[in-house]
């Protein structure tokens, strides 16, 4: 018994520990091929047929454009000096609410000087006047007395006085910009790319806003597109601080880009609770089409109205591009207005377009 306890049992435990160690090494460094292929996330099995085709079918499609709009104060009516002179009175300082026709300030205009009465000539028969030695020197002419008239500047519109930085007895010139009369209203302004603007040319604008705290989207009343005119790039180097152009969203437009910037403007109702610079979602309805040719979005390459789909070449079996004209876009579907026929087979996944079922991304 003493021999078993001293020699046999320790040897058995050493064998058991060695077997456990070998098993752990096998599991850690030599996994089986089948289980490794199933569990390795780096090399998943692709289950998508790269050459799967779908027929072009007819259906209905409705399209919309989602944009990020920024709440911007509506531009005010310019407040310009109507005379040159000194400001003698300011009735409506900056921040004052005024109605159209209210007095803003008063300007004193110098009209000209009135000359003093000329001195009477000396009588030649007067013996005192004839004596040159005793004659008194002629008095200096008095300075002309200035004449003034006072002109009031009135509010050109209802609103709040903004940007009025002048003070009483400051001198101003006729036509000088003194500030503006802000209407106190706001608009949601969203920038458009040229392609987005193109898609809005031939439709009646319909847009809605989702404001914080609103249960339902707010329909825009009379939305419009504001477009900045092109600027000559040669003028971009001339006094950039004076020639800088701002779009309706308050953001500067690069005059050297030679590209028109456009924004869609949605007036915000006065009872809506908004603040300047607040970003809100804007949804623009691009219209709908019924009984038109549709293709999956994964089968189409291109933006705007020009695009391509791919078919399998009968001779080589390789994907061949087909030029198409695109229309409205819906969830996962694109309207094809020209280039395909109903029932024509096209590749479901165009080369370079990611498959939603392929974890590796693009197939090509």
- CATH among 3.40.50.10420, 3.90.1150.10, 2.40.420.20, 3.40.50.300 for 53-63+287-347: 2.40.420.20
- Mean pLDDT along residues 61-86: 93
pLDDT for residue 277 is more than 90: yes
pLDDT for 352: 73
User: If you search the block for the tokens 């911007």, which residue do you land on?
Assistant: 72
Residue span(s) of the chain under CATH 2.40.420.20 come to 53-63+287-347
**The token pair that represents 173 in the structure block:** 């010139």
Average pLDDT, rounded, for the chain: 80
- CATH among 2.40.50.100, 3.30.565.10, 3.30.70.3040, 1.10.10.10 for 76-109+146-183: 2.40.50.100
pLDDT, tens only, 302-352: 877 889 999 999 888 899 999 999 988 887 899 999 999 999 999 999 987
pLDDT for 241: 37
CA–CA separation, 103 and 86 (whole Å) = 16
> Could you tell me if 208 and 268 are in contact, meaning their C-beta atoms sit under 8 angstroms apart?
no
pLDDT, tens only, 217-239: 999 999 999 987 543 444 333 43
- Angle, alpha carbons 231-260-233 (nearest 5°): 25
Max Cα–Cα distance, the chain, nearest Å: 173
**The token pair that represents 281 in the structure block:** 């979602």
- Measured in whole angstroms, the distance separating CA 323 from the mean position of its chain's CA atoms is 33
- Mean pLDDT along residues 98-105: 96
Q: For residue 266, give Cα distances in angstroms to 12, 77, 194, 211, 216.
A: 85, 19, 19, 12, 16
Q: pLDDT confidence of 107, banded at 50, 70, 90?
A: very high
- Mean pLDDT along residues 253-271: 72
Nearest to 344 by CA among 298, 299, 304: 299
- Measured in whole angstroms, the distance separating CA 185 from the mean position of its chain's CA atoms is 18
Percent of the chain with pLDDT over 70: 74
pLDDT for residue 362 is more than 90: no
CA–CA separation, 302 and 300 (whole Å) = 7
pLDDT for 98: 96
Lowest mean pLDDT among 135-139, 178-182, 343-347, 359-363: 359-363
Q: Which residues pair with 296 in a beta bridge?
A: 333
pLDDT for 343: 94
Residue 135, SS3 per DSSP: coil
Percent of the chain with pLDDT over 90: 50
pLDDT for residue 77 is more than 90: yes
Q: Which residues pair with 268 in a beta bridge?
A: 186
Residue 163, SS3 per DSSP: coil
Nearest to 223 by CA among 280, 265, 258, 285: 265
Lowest mean pLDDT among 130-144, 197-211, 234-248: 234-248
Residue span(s) of the chain under CATH 2.40.50.100 come to 76-109+146-183
pLDDT for residue 119 is more than 70: no
**The token pair that represents 7 in the structure block:** 């020699």
Residue 18, SS3 per DSSP: helix
Q: Which residues pair with 69 in a beta bridge?
A: 280
pLDDT for residue 45 is more than 70: no
pLDDT for 240: 37
Q: Is 129 exposed, middle or buried (CB count within 10 Å of its CB: 0-12, 13-18, 19+)?
A: middle
pLDDT, tens only, 2-43: 776 777 778 888 888 888 988 887 887 776 655 544 555 555
Task: Look up the pTM and report it.
Answer: 0.57
């Amino acid at each position: 018994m003493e021999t078993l306890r001293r020699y046999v049992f320790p040897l058995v435990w050493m064998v058991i520990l060695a077997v456990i160690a070998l098993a752990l090494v096998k599991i850690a460094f030599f996994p089986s091929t089948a289980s490794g292929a199933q569990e390795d996330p780096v090399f998943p099995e692709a289950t998508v047929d790269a050459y799967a085709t779908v027929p072009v079918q007819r259906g209905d499609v409705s399209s919309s454009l989602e944009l990020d709009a920024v709440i911007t104060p509506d531009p005010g009516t310019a407040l310009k000096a109507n005379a040159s002179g000194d400001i003698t009175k300011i009735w409506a300082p900056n921040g004052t609410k005024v109605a159209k026709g209210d007095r803003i300030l008063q300007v004193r205009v110098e009209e000209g000087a009135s000359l003093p009465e000329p001195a009477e000539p000396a009588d030649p028969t007067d013996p005192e006047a004839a004596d040159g030695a005793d004659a008194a020197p002629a008095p200096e002419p008095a300075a002309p007395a200035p004449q003034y008239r006072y002109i009031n500047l009135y509010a050109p519109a209802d609103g709040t006085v903004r940007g009025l930085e002048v003070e009483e007895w400051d001198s101003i010139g006729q036509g000088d910009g003194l500030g503006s009369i802000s209407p106190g209203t706001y608009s949601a302004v969203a920038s458009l790319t040229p392609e987005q603007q193109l898609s809005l040319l031939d439709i009646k604008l319909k847009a809605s806003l989702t404001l914080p705290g609103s249960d339902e989207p707010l329909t825009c009343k009379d939305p419009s597109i504001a477009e900045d005119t092109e600027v000559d790039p040669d003028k971009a180097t001339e006094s950039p601080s004076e020639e800088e152009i701002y779009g309706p969203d308050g953001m500067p437009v690069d005059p050297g880009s030679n590209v028109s910037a456009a924004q869609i403007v949605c007036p915000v109702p006065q009872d809506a609770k908004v603040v300047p610079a607040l970003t809100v979602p804007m949804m623009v309805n691009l219209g709908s089409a019924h009984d038109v040719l549709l293709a999956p979005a994964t089968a189409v390459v291109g933006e705007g109205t020009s695009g391509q789909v791919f078919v399998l070449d009968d001779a080589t079996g390789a994907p061949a591009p087909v030029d198409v004209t695109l229309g409205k876009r819906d969830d996962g579907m694109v309207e094809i207005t020209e280039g395909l026929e109903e029932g024509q087979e096209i590749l479901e996944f165009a080369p370079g377009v990611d498959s939603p079922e392929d974890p590796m991304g693009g197939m090509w």
